[in-house]
């Protein structure tokens, strides 16, 4: 093997420019493949980060005024969602739904602790709200609203990390009281949301909100999570069509009246974006592979030229007893050597560029932030696949020229000038 490599290196030294140009084509092909894959991952990561840790299988239901006259009612009628809609959803559609959460928006409230205060939006929520939103509570920072809070209609509140920093500075907030527009609540938890450090929304039990703020059984909106029985866009669409009809029947509105009752299906949005991401990834691989193939074709052509130039040499080798396999091996190994060395250079450069670019694309912070491009790097599995692709490509690129070399007849080769 050492002698074989020595011979290959001697051949490369005799044809430096040709080898460089051939290798550059391969290096450029794998470089572009890695950069394109990194860019595709950047788009995918940016899209995924916008959902954060929030559940993807969520449908939110809200209401306003009717746009379409229906069942004897004129348009413009105000539609109110309430606790009965939550119960109907849980009871009649339990096959498709994990849990339902109600929500009462209370608008902006002034929250104070002594001389410190801030204006914060506040909502009455169900316990599972924290799961849907992807909020987190670190150990030592209390808890979220629980079922006992709901049943006993407790005056407890969960504030954000940002609100805690404003109201309590470096002190602990758990167990302390805050004044919310004249009503005293006890802080039971401090939550945070990744990449949204400026959030100040506060949460109280939904039952407490309905009583204290005279909302009766009315809700601002409610949401539910779909289970594994909703596994694709078609099934989701069929379920939503049946669900719309049922809720519309209860509220006596036209099922197609999206202004009266409208739905935000996060799962369908996620599937659409996931499909776009999948198609982008497929397109990137196709473009990248064809770019790489152009370099591989160049290697194959150069090896064909090499075989033609070394026809006499191969004839002499065969005349002194060289086996066809030794000649086949010589050409193939030389092709693999050139492809792998230059391909690895392109691979390293491509990974280096994507890692360098990743430093400039960090998650945006803020409530309304949107990341279109994030962390355009290539994972180790893709790098390994690219390396294997190089070795296979090098073998294929050298096989046909090697086969041509093996088929050279000794007499014709010796007579070749």
- Of the three residues 230, 248, 267, the one that is the final residue of a domain is 267
CA–CA separation, 366 and 195 (whole Å): 7
CA–CA separation, 285 and 307 (whole Å): 32
What the block records as the tokens of 205 is 């039990």
Question: What is the predicted pLDDT for the residue at 154?
Answer: 96
Nearest to 176 by CA among 118, 113, 120, 124: 113
CA–CA separation, 167 and 242 (whole Å): 47
- How many alpha carbons lie under 13 Å from residue 324 in its C-beta half-sphere? 10
**Residue 94 dihedral angles phi and psi, to the nearest 5°:** -65, -20
Q: What is the number of structural domains in the chain?
A: 2
Question: What is the predicted pLDDT for the residue at 391?
Answer: 72
* Residues 97/225, Cβ–Cβ less than 8 Å: yes
Domain that holds residue 361: 2-52+271-415
- A 10 A CB-CB count for 88 gives 15
Planar angle of CA 251, 257, 263, nearest 5 degrees: 80
* Residues 83 and 213 both lie in one domain: yes
Question: What is the predicted pLDDT for the residue at 366?
Answer: 45
CA–CA separation, 214 and 379 (whole Å): 54
Q: Which residue has the higher pLDDT, 40 or 67?
A: 67
For residue range 134-168, list pLDDT tens digits in order.
788 999 999 999 999 999 999 999 999 999 999 99
Q: Which residues pair with residue 192 across a beta bridge?
A: 136
* Residues 349 and 361 both lie in one domain: yes
* Residues 303 and 242 both lie in one domain: no
- Total residues found in the chain within this entry: 417
- Of the three residues 250, 267, 284, the one that is the final residue of a domain is 267
* Residues 215 and 360 both lie in one domain: no
Whether residue 64 has pLDDT greater than 80: yes
* Residues 44 and 143 both lie in one domain: no
Question: What is the predicted pLDDT for the residue at 347?
Answer: 82
For residue range 302-323, list pLDDT tens digits in order.
767 767 766 777 677 777 777 7
* Residues 87 and 232 both lie in one domain: yes
Burial of residue 96 (CB within 10 Å: 0-12, 13-18, 19+) is: buried
For residue range 241-265, list pLDDT tens digits in order.
999 999 999 999 998 898 999 998 8
Q: Which residue has the higher pLDDT, 129 or 399?
A: 129
Helix (H) or strand (E) holding 332: helix 324-358
* Residues 58/378, Cβ–Cβ less than 8 Å: no
What is the DSSP track for 232-265? Answer: SHHHHHHHHHHHHHHHHHHHT--TT-TTTEEEEE
């Amino acid at each position: 093997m050492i002698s074989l490599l020595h011979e290959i290196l001697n051949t490369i030294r005799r044809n430096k420019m040709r080898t460089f140009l051939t290798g550059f084509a391969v290096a450029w092909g794998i470089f572009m493949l890695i950069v394109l894959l990194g860019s595709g991952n950047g788009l995918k990561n940016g899209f995924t980060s916008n959902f954060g840790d929030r559940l993807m299988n969520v449908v939110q239901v809200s209401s306003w005024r009717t746009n379409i006259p229906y069942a004897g009612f004129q348009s413009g009628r105000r539609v109110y969602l309430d606790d009965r809609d939550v119960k109907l959803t849980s009871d009649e559609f339990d096959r498709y739904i994990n849990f339902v959460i109600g929500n009462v928006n209370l608008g902006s409230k002034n929250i104070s602790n002594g001389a410190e205060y801030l204006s914060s939006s506040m909502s009455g929520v169900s316990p599972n709200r924290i799961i849907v939103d992807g909020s987190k509570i670190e150990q030592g920072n209390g808890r979220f609203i629980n079922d006992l809070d709901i049943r006993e209609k407790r005056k407890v509140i969960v504030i954000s990390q940002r609100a805690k920093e404003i109201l309590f500075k470096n002190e602990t907030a758990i167990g302390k009281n805050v004044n919310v527009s004249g009503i005293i609540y006890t802080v039971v938890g401090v939550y945070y949301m990744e990449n949204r450090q400026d959030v100040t929304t506060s949460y109280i039990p939904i039952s407490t909100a309905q009583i204290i703020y005279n909302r009766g059984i009315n809700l601002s909106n409610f949401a539910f999570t779909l289970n594994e029985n909703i596994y694709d866009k078609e099934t989701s669409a069929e379920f939503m069509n049946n669900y719309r009809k049922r809720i519309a029947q209860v509220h006596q509105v036209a099922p197609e009246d999206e202004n009266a009752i409208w739905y935000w299906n996060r799962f369908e949005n996620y599937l659409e974006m996931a499909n776009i991401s999948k198609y982008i990834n497929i397109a990137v691989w196709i473009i990248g592979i064809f770019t790489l193939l152009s370099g591989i074709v160049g290697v194959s052509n150069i090896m064909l030229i090499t075989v033609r130039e070394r026809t006499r040499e191969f004839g002499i080798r065969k005349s002194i007893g060289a086996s066809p396999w030794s000649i086949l091996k010589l050409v193939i190994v030389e092709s693999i050597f050139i492809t792998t060395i230059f391909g690895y250079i392109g691979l390293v450069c491509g990974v280096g560029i994507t890692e360098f670019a990743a430093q400039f694309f960090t998650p945006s912070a803020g409530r309304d932030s949107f990341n279109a491009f994030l962390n355009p790097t290539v994972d180790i599995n893709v790098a390994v696949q690219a390396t294997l692709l190089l070795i296979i490509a090098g073998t294929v690129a050298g096989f046909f020229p090697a086969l041509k070399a093996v088929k050279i007849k000794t007499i014709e080769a010796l007579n070749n000038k």
